[in-house]
A and B are shown apart, each in its own frame.
Chain A
Amino acid sequence: MKNSIEDQNDSSGSFEPDLSIRIGSLTMANPVGVASGIFGYGEEYKELVHIDELGALYTKTVTLEPREGNPAPRLVETPMGLINSIGLANPGLECFLREKLPLLRNHKCAIIANIAGSTEDEYAMVIEGIEERLSLSEPLSKTGIDGYEINVSCPNVRDGGMTFGIDPVIVKRLTCSLRKRTAKPLIVKLSPNVTDIAEIARAAEEGGADAVSCINTVLGMVIDTDRMKPSIAKGIGGLSGPAIRPIGVAATYRVSRAISIPVIGVGGIARASDAIQYFLAGAQAVQVGTALFSNPHAPQEILSGITDWMKRHGVLRVHDINSMLK
């Protein structure tokens, strides 16, 4: 049996699976990360979560200039889901480098900076800004920024974001341009709000991406029937949470069969079995998002559940799960 480790360990199940995963040149200690936009830059949750135990922390999106974000209210809960329209509110690159980066360096997990821009140039300038700072200060530091997640899939901003991510020509050109500016892993975060997500994933791979995150939020809307107006100020927002998990799993299944770079599964992961669905569908790592809000211990619980599952099924490495789907 291909995935059996019985020849390497005794069959009593006492072996320890190898949880580490590789994205480009980067090794993450385990496959469970926290999705962008959930943890800010790691400060607010540090008392509630052992961030060092995460596989990766994907930061709140960084843009060149500070962004105030979208009007309030920005959130509405839906059955098994959450619609948000934050609008990439963030303090901008300069503040990120000055105030957030030094704190992020203290964490032992992989730090992936999620970046966005209104124009293709702005994406490049954010990466250049971070790369320059990393080369100036502590060039040998293991932590800092270990990779980039390119947000071409935010549904809540007018320029950039999803308008880029729905066009394979732009995705390829942008990825190509960013590839020239960093040797660190580039992860393109895909939008599910497209006709053919596999086509966009192929464009990212052709542009030189090391991985894709699959998926960003799904367009959604709730209307308050008493007020006869949308529940969030922007009307339409991005739906996350368990409601979108089957969409994410299907997208992961299709994308992982269309490209040869790793797929990072995102969308509605709240328990270990959710993450394992993504692994079986073809993901090599996962990100936990909305589930963190109700349960800050979710990543650790998911990781320990994945470990138990791997032990039970005699699986040595996470990517071995990819080939176990019957």
Chain B
Amino acid sequence: MHLAFEWPEDLQPPLPGQFFTFLPSMVDSSAGIILRRPLAFAGFEPKKNTADSYASLSAIAHSIYQIRGPCTKALAIQQAGSYIDIIASLGNSFPYPNREEKVIIAGGGIGVGPMLFLAASLAENIAIPQDHIENISKPLEFSGSSKEIKLVFGFRSMLLVPSFKESIGNSPIAKTWERLLSGAFIATDDGSKGFHGTVLDALESLKKTDKSARFWHVYGCGPEAMIAKLAAFARQNSLPAHLSAEQWMACGVGACQGCVLPTRRGGYLRVCGDGPVFEADAIDWEACL
């Protein structure tokens, strides 16, 4: 599902990796929901000034989500133009890669949302060779400058690969997402589309054929098990990696210490206040499973 909302002019634009919380006031009160729900940003369109100087299109923030419980269910049936109570932008963001690094963007399931945002944001700063956009059978590689971006997205089956054409038509963000998705290396657990296997299997396979694999900088977001494996993969191959974590949250702003994850050095870090993006080595991901 896709959520887009108008962004106030006086607020800094969100960065890839950051999230917001929404008040699920649309949920039937009999569900007894009392907490806000966090969602990651999946894209941002800055304000556009149209030819008519009196009209301008507001900035729009985007998120994609899966219907999992009463809140996302209620959100999904909201009318376009509804009011939504949001606190943003929260958390840290993905750091930019170093000049010599080759960017690997790994997304699993609905975790592709923030990774599409990261890819779009990095691609904006990198010349995109046309042949890669046309040739959708190859992984998307932006080799205009010294950087390359490879997207590797995994889903349980092809039915879960998001399709934005139907839901949001020909909007610029849908085009961006579709373009990124079509250029991504897709893996499905059941082999119904693309590579048969997990994101990790796909990465192992790509690593064998990529001579510059030692320059990889891995960025990832997805289910806990995938993140744990990504961290192990990065460690085994001595690659820098930044992974986005998920945890139940109460305050979302760093105050309540509720959404912590255990660190490898002992102690805990807050997903909302210290993350949600962590250096792969910082967190004891195995202990989170």
Contact = CB atoms under 8 A, between A and B. Distances in A.
Interface of A: 37-40, 43-45, 48, 60, 68-69, 71-82, 84, 86, 89, 241-243, 290-296
Contact of B259 (A38, A39, A68, A75): A75
Closest 4 CB pairs of A and B: A79-B32, A44-B255, A40-B255, A75-B258
A75 B253 contact: no
Contacts of B33: 77
B250 A75 contact: yes
A260 to B, nearest CB: 34
> Considering residues B35, B262, B288, which has the most beta carbons from chain A within 10 angstroms of its beta carbon?
B35
Contacts of B267: 68
A86 B256 contact: yes
A78 B247 CA distance: 16
Given A68-B268, A72-B247, A295-B23, 10 more contacts: A44-B253, A44-B273, A72-B268, A74-B259, A75-B250, A79-B31, A82-B34, A82-B250, A84-B258, A294-B36
B27 to A, nearest CB: 11
B248 A293 contact: no
A22 to B, nearest CB: 28
Contacts, number: 91
A78 B15 CA distance: 32
B133 interface: no
Contacts of A84: 250, 256, 258
B255 A38 contact: yes
B32 A86 contact: no
Nearest to B32: A79
B268 A39 contact: no
B254 A72 contact: no
A73 B254 contact: no
Nearest to A86: B257
B74 interface: no
Contacts of B36: 293-294
A60 to B, nearest CB: 8
A290 B250 CA distance: 8
Contacts of A243: 32
A72 B268 CA distance: 9
Nearest to A39: B255
Contacts of A44: 251, 253-255, 273
Given A40-B256, A44-B254, A77 B34 contact: yes
A81 B259 CA distance: 16
Contacts of A86: 256-258
Contacts of A72: 247, 259-262, 268, 288
B87 interface: yes
B266 interface: yes
B226 interface: no
Interface string B152-170: 0000000000000000000
